[in-house]
């Protein structure tokens, strides 16, 4: 990565940057950290909870959400380096509850990490937090058994909470202890301190998430769930802890495997390629790796710049956290590293998608259905009582809502004879179905 190294980042500059952008997006509290060639600088803004007015500090725990997934990938690779498993072991080899399941005998741990496993996909398995509330040590094992009992999906790229839960169960089975304890032991031994699990103990000083409303930020309860802990419903950490985690990835050569590309096709608004736990972002001066977390009223972000031995972490306790990142990151990256980010100002381009009728049809999971039909200005996307107009950005991506930083687009993929085989809702693949519209 060839860059203009920008100017030196100090705490005052970082605090000013964070304060300006957090206030712009109505974020009650946030933390920003930069690790640059061994030097760590952090800045904090606002309060952990609008009711208590307790200030955010560099050690204040935020919910990590899906930033837990690269943490899980890190554990798997470290276990592989120790000779306790191989990335090419099948699920049936490493997860007792999947033994004897045909699809699990053909899917490897590497497949799970690359999000190309073809494991069962249903709304209930992906988002069944309210149904699986047991907090005992066997919660993840029971969930793994449930997943194993379902029919597999097509072997296409799809993000999946259930898949990362299976990886967490593999960590448990190999380590002989709970996922949370195994994670804590491995991170501690690697010098990463301050990442805790809400399912293990009370995280009393954690932030409260906030949803934004016309009346301002509204506190929301945290999502804490033992069965989905490995997907992101338990881990917490402050900006210093997450920069320590980034440092581990910059200094431990064996972890570079997680940055190897396994899915080169981009999903606009999310990534330019997927690797083995990290996404890749193709910025002006070369690739950057990282991932984001989205959970009740909180958003998190980590970006790795290995060639510069640098990293950036942003944690926010508001549902507008990705909007904050979208305006803050370009200014930070150019000033600090001389890196220009691609502009995110999507504008519909009319005929860019060609014949829109090729996208029309039903896209389904066993318990989910999305209908796509042609509208005057683009595509009509219907799911249950929700309907939205999507206008073409290019030959496979459509704009739903430019102001929604969490999910502004839908993307179609797996093209065959010009017709897409899958609709990506956020980063979840919903395959095209032959079902007729009722």
Residue 149 to residues 104, 119, 123, 125, 242, Cα–Cα distance (Å): 10, 11, 15, 11, 36
Taking 3-state DSSP, the helix, strand and coil percentages for the chain, each rounded to the nearest 5, stand at 30, 25, 40
The pLDDT of residue 382 is 97
pTM across the whole model: 0.95
For the structural domain made of 1-344, what CATH number should be given? Answer: 3.40.710.10
The pLDDT of residue 419 is 86
Q: How far apart are CA 254 and CA 268, in angstroms?
A: 29
3-state secondary structure labels for all residues of 271-291: ECEECCCCEEEEECCEEEEEE
- What averages of pLDDT result for each successive group of 10 residues across the chain (438 residues)? 63 96 97 94 98 96 97 97 97 97 97 97 98 96 98 95 98 97 94 89 85 93 96 97 97 97 93 97 93 97 96 98 95 94 74 86 97 92 94 90 83 84 96 71
3-state secondary structure labels for all residues of 328-339: HHHHHHHHHHCC
The pLDDT of residue 376 is 82
Query: Is 81 within 8 Å of 317 (Cβ atoms)?
Result: no
Provide DSSP, 87-131: TT-BHHHH-GGGTT-TGGGT-BHHHHHTT-------HHHHH-TTT
Question: Domain extents for the chain?
Answer: 1-344, 350-433
The pLDDT of residue 202 is 67
The pLDDT of residue 9 is 79
The pLDDT of residue 2 is 52
Neighbour count for residue 352 (Cβ, 10 Å): 14
């Amino acid at each position: 990565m060839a860059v203009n190294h920008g100017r030196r980042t100090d705490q005052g500059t970082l605090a000013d940057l964070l304060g300006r952008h957090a206030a712009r997006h109505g974020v009650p509290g946030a933390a920003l950290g930069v690790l640059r060639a061994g030097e760590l600088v952090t800045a904090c803004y606002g309060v952990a909870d609008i009711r208590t007015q307790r200030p955010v500090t560099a050690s204040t725990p935020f919910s990590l959400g899906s930033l837990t997934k690269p943490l899980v990938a890190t554990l798997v690779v470290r276990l592989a380096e120790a000779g306790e498993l191989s990335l090419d072991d099948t699920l049936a080899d490493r997860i007792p509850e999947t033994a004897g399941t045909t699809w699990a005998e053909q899917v490897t741990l590497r497949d799970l990490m690359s999000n190309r496993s073809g494991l069962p996909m249903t709304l209930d398995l992906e988002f069944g937090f309210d149904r699986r509330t047991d907090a005992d040590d066997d919660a993840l094992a029971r969930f793994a058994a449930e997943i194993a009992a379902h029919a597999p999906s097509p072997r296409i790229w799809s993000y999946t909470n259930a898949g990362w839960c299976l990886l967490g169960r593999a960590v448990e089975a190999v380590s002989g202890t709970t996922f949370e304890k195994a994670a804590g032991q491995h991170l501690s031994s690697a010098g990463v301190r301050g990442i805790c699990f809400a399912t293990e103990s009370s995280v009393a000083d954690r932030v409260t998430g906030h949803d934004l409303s016309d009346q301002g930020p509204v506190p929301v309860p945290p999502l804490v769930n033992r069965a989905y802990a490995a997907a992101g419903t338990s881990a917490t950490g402050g900006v210093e802890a997450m920069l320590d985690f980034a440092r581990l990835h910059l200094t431990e050569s064996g972890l570079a495997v997680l940055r190897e590309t396994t899915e080169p096709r981009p999903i606009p608004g999310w990534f330019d390629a997927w690797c083995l736990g990290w996404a890749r972002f193709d910025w002006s001066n070369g690739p950057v790796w990282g991932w984001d977390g989205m959970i009740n009223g909180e958003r998190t972000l980590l970006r790795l710049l290995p060639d510069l031995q640098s990293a950036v972490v942003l944690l926010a306790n508001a549902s507008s956290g990705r909007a904050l990142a979208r305006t803050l990151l370009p200014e930070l990256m150019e000033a600090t590293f001389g890196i220009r980010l691609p502009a995110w100002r999507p504008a519909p381009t009319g005929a860019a998608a060609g014949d829109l009728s090729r996208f029309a049809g039903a896209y389904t999971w066993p318990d989910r259905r999305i209908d796509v039909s042609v509208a005057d200005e683009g595509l009509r996307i219907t799911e249950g009582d929700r309907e939205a107009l999507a206008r073409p950005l290019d030959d496979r991506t459509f704009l739903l809502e430019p102001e929604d930083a969490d999910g502004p687009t839908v993307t179609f993929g797996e093209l065959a004879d010009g017709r897409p085989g899958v609709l990506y809702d956020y980063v979840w693949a919903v395959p095209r179905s032959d079902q007729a519209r009722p």
